[in-house]
Structure 1
Amino acid sequence: METKNTPFEQLTITNRFMFAMVFSHKEIAKPFLEAILGIKIHELRDPEPEKTIEISPVSKGVRFDVFVKESGPNGEIIRSFDIEMQIEDTHEIPKRARFYQAMRDSEALCRGEKYFNLKELYIIFLCPEDIFGKDRAVYRFKNFEADDPKIEMGDLSFKNFYIFSKYREVAEKAIRDYMEYFATNKANTPATEDIDRLVKWYQTDSNTRIRYMTWQEEIDIAVELERQRADEIQKKADAEKARADEAEARADKYEKMLRELGKL
């Protein structure tokens, strides 16, 4: 998704930065999650926009657009939600969802803690286009036994994808209203009007503008580091191939010499 050449005042909810800022308000995130997942949330903790997880300096980290946890009556964690606004189809989104789940799960347990303590986790991607190409507006995934789908794995991990350009095809009105707003930027319900008011407020807030510029710089740096890492990997692969080609050439030359001497 390109953001550099877009004037800040024109950024809409589908910009990842604007989305993270708006959905960092739990009064926005809570009804949204209840609507698209069809659940009732007891208490939503303050969402964490642009939450970063780094396992080690040499491992790839993640930056969630919006990460939020649900608390129970006694303050215990019941469920977690990662909400991602994904404008560009990078052709790797399903694997990103897998990696995001792994990173979240690795952070969820302390050393020595039982796997039983892992809670429900929802990875939610909002996309403008149908990344699966099956002409559906909503895709909901969870793990089943391949030969008998009635048998659920029960790992409490769910991955949902909402294609908001297909909002007209969404049966559930509560979901359709949100998807329509993402697709058109037109607020037609109290919930989307609340979102739109925050978008317009952020568009005029000077502190948010500064945060956006910093965010964009961080993104640019991350992209450049990723490119440099990819270049290094390619250079190493090219060097390995060159060494292998050289070894093969030496072997061929030695074999030819042996044949000429009648040794083979």
Structure 2
Amino acid sequence: MTRETAEMIQSIDERWSNLTIANDFVFCKTMLNTDLCREVLETILGVPIERIEYVGRHEQLDASPEGKSVCLDVYVRDEAGTVYNVEMQTTDTRELPRRSRYYHALMAVDQLTKGSPYNALKDTYVIFICRFDPFKLGRRVYYFENTCRGDDRLTLGDGTKTIFLSATAPKQEPAESRLDEFLDYVASGTVAGELSAKLAAEVASVLDNQKWRLEYMMLEVRDQLNFDRGVLQGRAEGLAQGLAQGKEQGLAEGIAQGREAGLAEGLAQGKEAGLAEGLAQGKEQGLTEGLAQGREAGLAEGLAQGKEQGRSEGMAEGEERLARLLAALIADGREGQVAQAVLDPAAREGLYRSYGIDR
């Protein structure tokens, strides 16, 4: 194991001990406590909820095989069938309103089966818990529902509701509310009441769970490796693109200069002769360049698609083998070799052979 790899693992392990509920991984695991998840929803909405059930845990939704898929942090429904998606957001990506629109659409598609009437759609809530003010107006709660612009008393009744919470915005009422207690805990970890105390205890339980600690480490290592791989790939693609654009620009300038010189010479020798010669050369040149550029574009596209397909298939097979190996190590009480199996290719191959895990 290299020094850089060892330092990366140590850094990830140290981060785990200091994670808070604002981390989406910890938030997802904390919300697996059904009663606590229900209490958080009741606090945000200000209405009682009898019970909830999980539609999916860290659920991935796809609008279509070719469409963008998303992984929802918390995806639950209540006894009335109302569906809630709750997301923890620490970074202002400046696209949350558009993202909420897409989430509502995916949740609607997830509800209806072929032939179902549109009235079968249940209400959907998309809730973002932010550690910043997404609209910069100093509010802790931004609640959106479709209404008529000419008469805001008239609602569209499409059943979609979107809520943005700003944990860092100032309190708007003199009296401390249960929602203020929750948002203060998200922002700073302050325990000031029954709800925040329950959340703090559940977060401590999550951080004490060794299975989830290993899961977090695997995800972080995978993300770091993907990031490093992306940097290298981006640098290579940038170089290739720069060379291609430079070549194309040089070719265009050369053609322009050659055409200008040819035109001057053709005019000097005679308009009629120059025009005939110019047309012939232009046609031949255009055909040659078109064939060359078409061949280059086709080759680049084919290489890119083949590379992407091969990488996807290889990663899928490798992750499946790795998952089997890690399960075997944990089952045998060999958790100490998990990080080595993830990061050291030679050691990983040896463990594959020792457990008889074939490709």
Interval containing the TM-score (normalised by the shorter chain) = 0.7 to 0.9
Contact persistence 1:26–1:47 (CA under 8 A): no
Contact persistence 1:25–1:46 (CA under 8 A): no
Matched, 1:165 2:164: no
1:136-191 CA deviation, whole Å, 9 max, x = no partner?
Answer: 11111111222332221111101101101125336771211111111121222112
Q: Which residue of 2 aligns with 1:42?
A: 50
SS in 1 for 2:49: coil
Q: Which residue of 2 aligns with 1:17?
A: 25
1:91-141 CA deviation, whole Å, 9 max, x = no partner?
Answer: 112111112112222211111211111111110001111121122111111
Contact persistence 1:167–1:176 (CA under 8 A): no
Quick one: structure 1 residues 250 and 140, their matched pair in 2 at CA, closer, same or farther if it must change by over 3 Å? farther
Quick one: structure 1 residues 244 and 106, their matched pair in 2 at CA, closer, same or farther if it must change by over 3 Å? farther
Between 1 and 2, higher relative CO (CA 8 Å, sep ≥ 6) is seen in 1
Q: Which residue of 2 aligns with 1:112?
A: 115
Contact persistence 1:24–1:47 (CA under 8 A): no
Quick one: structure 1 residues 239 and 144, their matched pair in 2 at CA, closer, same or farther if it must change by over 3 Å? farther
Contact persistence 1:47–1:69 (CA under 8 A): yes
Name segments (4+ residues, structure 1) moved above 4 Å. Answer: 3-6, 217-229, 242-264
SS in 2 for 1:7: helix
Rounded to whole Å, the distance in 2 between the matches of 1:31 and 1:124 is 15
Rounded to whole Å, the distance in 1 between the matches of 2:112 and 2:253 is 49
Equivalent runs, 1:41-190 vs 2, <5 Å:
41-46=49-54, 48-72=56-80, 78-166=81-169, 168-169=171-172, 173-190=177-194
Matched, 1:31 2:33: no
SS in 1 for 2:58: strand
Rounded to whole Å, the distance in 1 between the matches of 2:230 and 2:85 is 23
RMSD (Å) for aligned C-alpha atoms: 3.5
Quick one: structure 1 residues 17 and 186, their matched pair in 2 at CA, closer, same or farther if it must change by over 3 Å? same
1:50-97 CA deviation, whole Å, 9 max, x = no partner?
Answer: 21113444321101111111124xxxxx20111111001111121111
Q: Percent identity?
A: 27
Which amino acid is the alignment partner of residue 54 of structure 2? Answer: D
SS in 1 for 2:198: helix
Structure 2 unaligned spans of 5+: 1-10, 276-359
The alpha-carbon deviation at position 43 of structure 1 amounts to 2.0
Contact persistence 1:14–1:85 (CA under 8 A): yes
The alpha-carbon deviation at position 31 of structure 1 amounts to 1.2
SS in 1 for 2:211: helix
TM-score in terms of structure 2 length: 0.60
Rounded to whole Å, the distance in 1 between the matches of 2:205 and 2:182 is 19
Structure 1 unaligned spans of 5+: 73-77
Contact persistence 2:54–2:75 (CA under 8 A): no
Aligned residues between the structures: 256
Rounded to whole Å, the distance in 2 between the matches of 1:224 and 1:52 is 25
Rounded to whole Å, the distance in 1 between the matches of 2:119 and 2:248 is 49
1:189-210 CA deviation, whole Å, 9 max, x = no partner?
Answer: 1122111111111212211101
Q: Which residue of 2 aligns with 1:75?
A: none
Rounded to whole Å, the distance in 2 between the matches of 1:132 and 1:116 is 33
The alpha-carbon deviation at position 19 of structure 1 amounts to 0.5
Which protein has the bigger helix share? 2
Which protein has the bigger strand share? 1
Q: Which structure has the larger Rg?
A: 2
Rounded to whole Å, the distance in 2 between the matches of 1:102 and 1:246 is 47
TM-score in terms of structure 1 length: 0.80
Contact persistence 1:23–1:47 (CA under 8 A): no
Rounded to whole Å, the distance in 2 between the matches of 1:179 and 1:147 is 34
Quick one: structure 1 residues 188 and 168, their matched pair in 2 at CA, closer, same or farther if it must change by over 3 Å? same
Quick one: structure 1 residues 201 and 149, their matched pair in 2 at CA, closer, same or farther if it must change by over 3 Å? same
SS in 1 for 2:54: coil
